[in-house]
Amino acid sequence: MKSKNSGQREKGTKLLSVRNLHVEGFSDERWHPIVRGVDLSLKRGEVLGLIGESGAGKSTIGLAAMGYAKPGCRITQGSILFDGIDLLAMAETARRRLRGSRIAYVAQSAAASFNPAHRLLDQTVETVVAHGIASREAANRDAMKLYRRLHLPDPDTIGFRYPHQVSGGQLQRAMTAMAMACRPDLIVFDEPTTALDVTTQVEVLASIRKIVEEFNTAAIYVTHDLAVVAQMANRIMVLRHGRTVEEAETRQMLAAPAEDYTRTLWAVRKLAKPEVPAADHLLTIDNITAAYAGKVKVLQDVSIKVPRGRTVAVVGESGSGKSTLARVITGLLPPVSGSISFAGHRLPRTLKERPKDILRRIQMIYQMPDNALNPRQTVEEVISRPLEFYLGLKGAACDRRVGELMHMIEMDENFLDRLPGELSGGQKQRICIARALAANPELIICDEVTSALDQIVQEEILKLLMRLQQEFGVSYIFITHDIATVRAIADEVVVMHQGKVVEQGLKTEILTPPHAPYTELLLSSVPEMDPDWLTKLLETRERKRVGAAN
C-alpha cells in the first residue's frame, strides 16, 4: 500500500528542520525549562538517534517535531518546518490531519496508548481509513502483512484480539504496525523496543530498518539503549538537561565522542555481583500450571526456588510466561495446579484469601509505570498509601519515611506534589520502586523494572537494589530480557520458553558455554556497540537457515 505522498519522496532531500526549540513544563505553580534551544534537521530516509539520561528532553523533542506538546507543557520559542510547512503556524485541526497520515508516533508504553475497548485491527487501520488512503478491506489486508513483517504470532487473527489479550512486547509491535500503516514521511519512535525481549527485538529492529529504507521514511529514534541506536541511526544527538551536548555521524560518535559527558555514557558498564552460596529458600514454586479463563496453558509444570536474600533472574522471550508467573506468585492469577510456599507456609491461591501481612511481605514492581500509577494521585499520595495501609504510619512519621524513600531512589522531595504525567518514564519507574519499598517487603518481584531507564540510571537503580539486599536481606525475582542486567544482579537464572522452564541454575553455569540451544539464541541476540552487528547477525542466521534447509 502506498501513502498519498509516496510518489513525491526522494531520498536525501530535507524533510524536517527544527531551530532554537524551547519547551517548558508547568509544576510547582510555575513554568520550568525542559528543552533549551535545540536545533535538528532530518532528511528523507535518514534516522536520527536521540540519546541521553532520563529527563534530558528526548521524548519532548520527538513530540515537538510533530508540532505537539504534552498537557502541562508548551512550546515557547523556535520554528518547526516539516516539508516546508510551518507546524507552529498551522491551526490545530490542520496539524491533526498531518499526524497519523504523514507524521506518526510510536510511544514508549503501548499499553497506555491503546484503547482497551477496541480490537487491535480496528485501531491499526483507523487512521488509514479516516484519511482515505485505502478501503477498510485493503487496510485490513495490509495490516496483517505488517503484523507478519513485525513477527507477531498468528498475524491473520491477532488483530481480532483486545489489547489486554496480548503480551506487552506484542502490543508494542502492534503499535509499530499502526504507525507504519499510512506509510508516513516521518515516524517518531519513542523507545519502541523497550518492552521487547532480545530475540524479538532483533526481528523488530530489522523490520523497522527495512521498512524505513524501503519507503524513504525519515525517523527520530528516541532511546537510552546505546547498542540499539548504533544499529538504527545514521546520526546521533546526545542530550542533557534539555540541551545538545554533541551531534555526529553514528560511526564517528561511537569511535571518538568529542565531549566528556558522551564518553561517560559510552563507559557505563554493568556491575559485577560476587556469587554467594544459597541460604534457605524463601519461596518455593512446585509444579505450577496456569491458564487464562481455563483455556490455553500459559505455564506448564513450573518449579523454581528463590533463596532468602538472593536474586533469581527469569529470562525468556515475550509470551514465555514470565509475567504470568509473577501474577501467580502474587495471587492475581490462581494456578490450575501446583503449590507455592513462602517462608515455609503454603500460600493461599488467590489474592483475596491472603492476609494483609503476606501481601506486605510480597511486593511487585510492574513493567509499565504508566499503567501502575494513578494519574490523579501525586507522588506523595502514591508513596504514602502503602505506609498507611501496611504500617499504619501517619502525619510527621509518614512524611519522614516518604522523604527517606525519595532519597533512596535519588529523587528530590520537590517532586512530591507532581502527578505522574509530569514525570519522565524513568522517574515514574523510580516512584514505583519507592512504593514497593515502602511496605518493607521480604520478596520483591521486579518485572522489567529497568527497561524504561537510561543506562546511567539503570546502573544506579541496580546499585540501589543490591544495597537494599545487602542491608535488609530482601529477595528478588528479576524478570528481564536484558542479559547485561542478569549478569549484574542475578545469583541464579531461570530460562523460560513457551511456558516451561528450559534450564535453571547458578548464573555462572547458565551464562558459561556450552549453552542450551534456546539460551544460546537469547545470548546471541544481545545487541553490541557495533553499527554492523545487526546486519552480521541477520546474515549469519540466514546462512544457517539456508544450510538447514539444504
Q: Are 219 and 228 in contact (CB under 8 A)?
A: no
Give the C-alpha separation, 87 to 79, whole Å: 8
Looking at residue 6, what is its pLDDT?
A: 46
Same topology for domains 11-267 and 281-512, yes or no? yes
Provide the percentage of residues in the chain whose pLDDT is more than 90: 61
Instruction: Sketch the domain layout of the chain as residue ranges.
Output: 11-267, 281-512
Find, among 427, 422, 423, the residue nearest to 454 by Cα: 427
Mean of all residue pLDDT scores within the chain: 89
Angle value at C-alpha 10, between 138 and 216, nearest 5 degrees: 55
Give the C-alpha separation, 472 to 62, whole Å: 41
Looking at residue 29, what is its pLDDT?
A: 83
**Mean pLDDT highest for which of 83-87, 268-272, 544-548?**
83-87
Q: Are 491 and 312 in contact (CB under 8 A)?
A: yes
pLDDT band at 269, cuts 50/70/90? low
**Largest pairwise CA distance in the chain:** 73
Q: What is the pLDDT of residues 464-513, one digit of tens each?
A: 888 888 888 999 999 988 888 898 899 999 999 999 999 999 999 999 88
Looking at residue 484, what is its pLDDT?
A: 82
Is pLDDT of 268 > 70?
Answer: no
Question: What is the amino acid identity at position 222?
Answer: V
Find, among 132, 66, 62, 73, the residue nearest to 95 by Cα: 66
Cα 365 to its chain centre, rounded Å, is 14
Looking at residue 370, what is its pLDDT?
A: 82
Is pLDDT of 87 > 90?
Answer: yes
| Other Cβ atoms closer than 10 A to 521 | 16
Residues whose CB is less than 8 angstroms from the CB of residue 490 and which lie 6 or more positions away in sequence, other chains included: 273, 311, 312, 313, 478, 507
Q: What is the pLDDT of residues 317-365, one digit of tens each?
A: 877 899 899 999 999 999 999 999 999 999 999 999 999 999 999 999 9
Give the C-alpha separation, 53 to 268, whole Å: 12
- Note the helical H segments in 150-214: 168-180, 198-214
Residues whose CB is less than 8 angstroms from the CB of residue 275 and which lie 6 or more positions away in sequence, other chains included: 491, 506, 507, 508
Just give the CATH number of 11-267.
3.40.50.300
Q: What is the CA radius of gyration of the chain?
A: 23
Q: Which 8-state DSSP code applies to residue 275?
A: P
Give the C-alpha separation, 458 to 450, whole Å: 6
Q: Read off the pLDDT of each residue in 122-150 and give the average, rounded to a whole number.
A: 93
Looking at residue 7, what is its pLDDT?
A: 44
Looking at residue 544, what is its pLDDT?
A: 84
* Cα dist from 248 to 20, 48, 237, 244, whole Å: 18, 10, 7, 11
Domain 281-512 superfamily per CATH: P-loop containing nucleotide triphosphate hydrolases (3.40.50.300)
pLDDT band at 415, cuts 50/70/90? very high
Question: What is the amino acid identity at position 229?
Answer: V
Provide the percentage of residues in the chain whose pLDDT is more than 70: 95
Give the C-alpha separation, 238 to 261, whole Å: 9
**Mean pLDDT highest for which of 24-33, 121-130, 516-525?**
121-130
Give the C-alpha separation, 144 to 129, whole Å: 15
Question: What is the amino acid identity at position 452?
Answer: A
Q: Are 424 and 55 in contact (CB under 8 A)?
A: yes
**Could you tell me how many residues make up the chain?**
550
More confident residue, 159 or 172: 159
Give the C-alpha separation, 478 to 489, whole Å: 9
Residues whose CB is less than 8 angstroms from the CB of residue 534 and which lie 6 or more positions away in sequence, other chains included: 202, 205, 206, 209, 231, 527
Q: What is the pLDDT of residues 281-293, one digit of tens each?
A: 999 999 999 998 7
Looking at residue 114, what is its pLDDT?
A: 92
Question: How is residue 321 written as a grid cell?
Answer: 510466561
Q: Read off the pLDDT of each residue in 86-103 and give the average, rounded to a whole number.
A: 92
Question: What is the amino acid identity at position 221?
Answer: Y
Residues whose CB is less than 8 angstroms from the CB of residue 243 and which lie 6 or more positions away in sequence, other chains included: 36, 37, 38
**SS3 assignment, position 475:** strand
